[in-house]
Amino acid sequence: MAVFTVPNIKLSGISSCVPKQIQDNKNFSLLSENERELFIKTVGIRFRRVAEEGVTASDLCVAAAEKLVTDLNWSRDEIKILVFITQTPDYLIPNTSSILQEKLKLSKSCMAFDVNLGCSGYVYGLSLVSSLLQNMIGGKALLLVGDISTRTISMQDKSTAPLFSDAGTATALEFSLNHNIHFNLQTDGKEFDDIIIPDGGYRNPVSTKSFEVKKYDGGNLRNNLDMKLDGLKIFNFALREVAPNINALLKEKGIEKSTVDFFVFHQANLLMLESVRKKLQVEAEKVPYCLYDYGNTSSATVPLTMVVKLRELLISQKLNLLLSGFGVGLSWGSVYIETEKIICSELIEL
- List residues near another protein by CB under 8 A: 34-35, 38-39, 42-43, 158-159, 218, 230-233, 235-236, 239-240, 269, 271-272, 274-275, 278
Name 118's bridge partners.
none
What is the Cα–Cα distance from 169 to 342, expressed in whole angstroms? 15
Write down the least CB distance from residue 27 to another protein, Å: 18
Write down the least CB distance from residue 192 to another protein, Å: 17
Burial zone of 184 (CB within 10 Å; 0-12 exposed, 13-18 middle, 19+ buried): buried
DSSP string, 314-334: HHHSEEEEEEEEEETTTEEEE
Burial zone of 256 (CB within 10 Å; 0-12 exposed, 13-18 middle, 19+ buried): exposed
Name 262's bridge partners.
321
Q: What is the DSSP letter of 78?
A: G
Q: Report the run of H or E that residue 343 belongs to, with start and end.
A: strand 343-344
Q: In the complex with another protein, which residue's Cβ is closer, 2 or 284?
A: 284
Amino acid at 192: F
Contacting residues for 60 by C-beta, under 8 A, at least 6 apart = 17, 18, 19, 51, 146, 148, 166, 167, 168, 350
Q: In the complex with another protein, which residue's Cβ is closer, 13 or 295?
A: 295
Write down the least CB distance from residue 66 to another protein, Å: 40
> Hey, is 89 helix, strand or coil?
coil
Q: In the complex with another protein, which residue's Cβ is closer, 237 or 262?
A: 237
Write down the least CB distance from residue 267 to another protein, Å: 16
Write down the least CB distance from residue 342 to another protein, Å: 35
Q: In the complex with another protein, which residue's Cβ is closer, 38 or 206?
A: 38
Name 222's bridge partners.
214
Write down the least CB distance from residue 34 to another protein, Å: 6
Write down the least CB distance from residue 246 to another protein, Å: 16
Q: In the complex with another protein, which residue's Cβ is closer, 44 or 121?
A: 44
- Nearest-CA neighbor of 265 among 218, 329, 309? 309
- Nearest-CA neighbor of 326 among 219, 261, 246, 260? 246
Q: In the complex with another protein, which residue's Cβ is closer, 36 or 140?
A: 36
